[in-house]
Chains A and B, each alone.
Chain A
Amino acid sequence: MAVLLTFIVPLVLMFIFGSIFNGGNSGPTGIPIAVLNQSKSDVAGKIVSTLDTMEAFQMVDSVKNAAGNIVPFDTTSMKEYVISGKATAGIVFPPDAYTDTSTALRLKFYYDPKNEIEMQMVSGLVRQAVFSNFPSIMAQSGLRLANRYLGSDSGSEFNKGLAILVHKYFRLDTANFLNPGKWMSYGGRTDTARGRGNFMSNFVRIDNEQVVGENVKNQWATSTIGGWALTFLLFAVTASSSSLFDERKSGVMLRLLTSPVSRVHILWSKYLFNMCLAIVQLVFMFVVGWLMFQVDIFSNFLNLMLIIISASIACTSFGMLLAAVSKTRQQANGLGTLLILTMSAIGGAWFPTFLMPSALQSLSKLTFVYWAMEGFLEVLWRGGGTVSILPHIGILLGMAVVINLVSIWRFKKGDIFS
């Protein structure tokens, strides 16, 4: 079994990493993004339609209000939606996003940079959606600018002259050129506008506003430290739980079992010790993060501790389960390595889950690593209160209960006490 696992572990990891970075994956999917279109312009409407059709995004334009009714976003509710972490970013097309007299498209971009890679990708994709409609914006705005600077008569003459030139060299219909609204039906080519920022900013003005974590000193460390801490914690509790095998082999287990303590006491003492070890290790990792990377652990310390304790309980349960289902320490270590690396990878401990195929994203929600990670982000990144982390705590403890029930069943059937 142990030898078999040495083949399985790399294969599983290759599959996960391949799913994320290989060309077989068409890119991120289902990133929640909130959209509020207050503009009546065609351009804004087209951009919203483009965003809606992009697989990378799961567009949301309404929210449940206090009365429980689904209502369209307003600016405040959309901002809150992003702050709450339900959407990675929010785009607002204000009423004056692109009026009849506008020479540039204006939009507001609220974002939550909880993960640098994710944010860069979201930002790039939003720009892609905007600039896919760029030719029509540029043409329309160009004509308006010409009219503004040359006067309406001279401007019209200039535009006609320009249209003839364009027709001559680019075979573009003159009427279409002078009525750029029709261009949009052609769609447009994708351009991330790298290196053209100054030129394009004349036509598209995106007002960025970071709504979460703006006061976080070290954004990278704050969003990643929990993931690394969890991965190594899982290895630690697995090793500690596997000491049951050493105790059985050495005969110490027999001595324990012939003393006036029950099997339940033995398991509980092991469980409590591992849980304390897990809490100490997680706290230690966060303190190191505070000392070395200025991760702010004290402004929301109580809630951080609640998540640490919940995550520790879940991790400890996992370690005990490994000991319960394995027959030898080697088997527990092999199986542990496979599960820990897999859970860490798909649970978002190493990279954001949105990078994965949608099936893996769904699977990630079944891992307690995902919920622990989300809990850490809620506390450290968004400064979430106790109420906001209750779902995370509930799920982590619920998972721990289920895992413990399976462990107890397996311990009763297994070899540890025989």
Chain B
Amino acid sequence: MIKVDRLTKKFPEVTALREVSLEIPEGEFFGLLGPNGAGKTTLMSLLVGYLDADDGQISIDGEVVRRDKLDLRKHIGFVPQSLALYDEMSALQNLEMFGKLFGIPSRELHKRIEEKLDSAGLFERRKDKVKTFSGGMKRRLNIIASMLHDPGILLCDEPTVGVDPQSRNAIFEFLERLNKQGKTIVYTTHYMEEAERLCSRIGIIDHGTIIALGSVDELLSRLPYDETISIMKNPSTRECLPVFQSFGTLTEEDDHYELKPSDGFALSNFFAKVESSGLKYQWIELHRPTLEALFLQLTGRRLRD
């Protein structure tokens, strides 16, 4: 169990975290969703004990995390946002070096390296220099380099930055397997799709504060509507604006209108009205509520602004 209690971290020019509190049970895939600069990386740095908090504390299974508690780091794997690898060394050499930092006996280390390389699909390339790897391969190596000591907790700080969709999927599957094996995973991202797909519980962070916390369904239920409807802009739909407005709040975007249905909205009534107005169905798109929408609702800004 990771317990974060009223955690505050200040830097000379900014307060990165303000009284953040949360609990992450063992085995959970927890997501930390927020825009750049929200405080995600700072929280990760505090969780791994790289930084000390100015106020409040973090404990893992009751033991307080601090910078000088080096042994506690043996229970945590930290996957940095950047590719923390030596480009001029082979995958094997990188893993040997980082594994030794955790004091893993040589024979055991080599066994683990082989297993991890195999599970990440990199075994055949183990003797190649990292600089010859694709972005996705480097990302996978970056993850397994953080897991050689077999930690119970894995902290992943935006581990898919700059990765193509195929490699991203491979990373997701890899992390999901780890979670199924019982690892607690804390995953930061500013991609809501990632958080929705991977995380059983999500904390939305902005300006150093957790502004929402819960499962995806719990979070989405905080929106005042279930879905949004976008309507293509054209002369026919323009004539029917009063019709749409009767179903909720209509806003005009660059290339479409967006309808946020009001309470008591019934989809069947809406489409019946559309049909009777002579509008075509392909001009209408139904959107499920998203975390992006929730973030917009909560902060007035988009996640990637």
**Of the candidates B73, B84, B102, which one forms a contact with A254 in the assembled complex, judged by CB atoms under 8 Å apart?**
B84
Partner-contacting stretch, out of B75-83, B175-183, B213-221, B293-301: B75-83
Question: How far apart are the CA atoms of A369 and B102 in the complex, in Å?
Answer: 39
B residues near A261, Cβ cutoff 8 Å:
70, 101
Query: Which B residues, 152 to 206, have Cβ-Cβ distances below 8 Å to chain A?
Result: none
**Of the candidates B49, B81, B85, B86, which one forms a contact with A258 in the assembled complex, judged by CB atoms under 8 Å apart?**
B49
B residues near A70, Cβ cutoff 8 Å:
none
Query: Which B residues, 117 to 132, have Cβ-Cβ distances below 8 Å to chain A?
Result: none
**Of the candidates A250, A257, A258, which one forms a contact with B82 in the assembled complex, judged by CB atoms under 8 Å apart?**
A250
A residues near B101, Cβ cutoff 8 Å:
256, 259-261
Q: Decide if A210 is an interface residue (CB 8 Å cutoff).
A: no
Q: DSSP majority for the B interface?
A: loop
The CB with the most chain B CB atoms within 10 A, among A253, A257, A258, is that of A258
Question: Given A254-B50, A254-B80 in contact, is the A259-B85 Cβ separation under 8 Å?
Answer: no
Question: How far apart are the CA atoms of A345 and B107 in the complex, in Å?
Answer: 51
CB distance from A259 to the nearest CB of B (A): 4
- A255 contacts B146, C-beta separation under 8 Å: yes
Chain B residues within 8 Å of chain A by Cβ, number: 24
Closest to A255 in B: B84
CB distance from A173 to the nearest CB of B (A): 86
Q: Decide if A272 is an interface residue (CB 8 Å cutoff).
A: no
A residues near B103, Cβ cutoff 8 Å:
260
Question: How far apart are the CA atoms of A257 and B86 in the complex, in Å?
Answer: 15
Q: Decide if A251 is an interface residue (CB 8 Å cutoff).
A: yes
Q: Decide if B225 is an interface residue (CB 8 Å cutoff).
A: no
**Of the candidates A253, A255, A257, which one forms a contact with B145 in the assembled complex, judged by CB atoms under 8 Å apart?**
A255
Query: Which B residues, 82 to 114, have Cβ-Cβ distances below 8 Å to chain A?
Result: 82-87, 98, 101-103
Question: How far apart are the CA atoms of A74 and B13 in the complex, in Å?
Answer: 73
Q: Decide if A202 is an interface residue (CB 8 Å cutoff).
A: no
Question: Given A250-B85, A252-B85 in contact, is the A259-B80 Cβ separation under 8 Å?
Answer: no
A residues near B73, Cβ cutoff 8 Å:
258-260
- A257 contacts B98, C-beta separation under 8 Å: no
Task: Known A-B contacts: A250-B86, A258-B50, A261-B70. Give 17 more (CB < 8 A).
Answer: A250-B82, A250-B84, A250-B85, A250-B87, A251-B80, A252-B84, A252-B85, A253-B84, A254-B80, A256-B101, A257-B50, A258-B76, A259-B101, A259-B102, A260-B70, A260-B71, A260-B103
| B residues at A contact (CB < 8 Å) | 48-50, 68, 70-71, 73-74, 76, 78, 80-87, 98, 101-103, 145-146
| A residues at B contact (CB < 8 Å) | 250-262
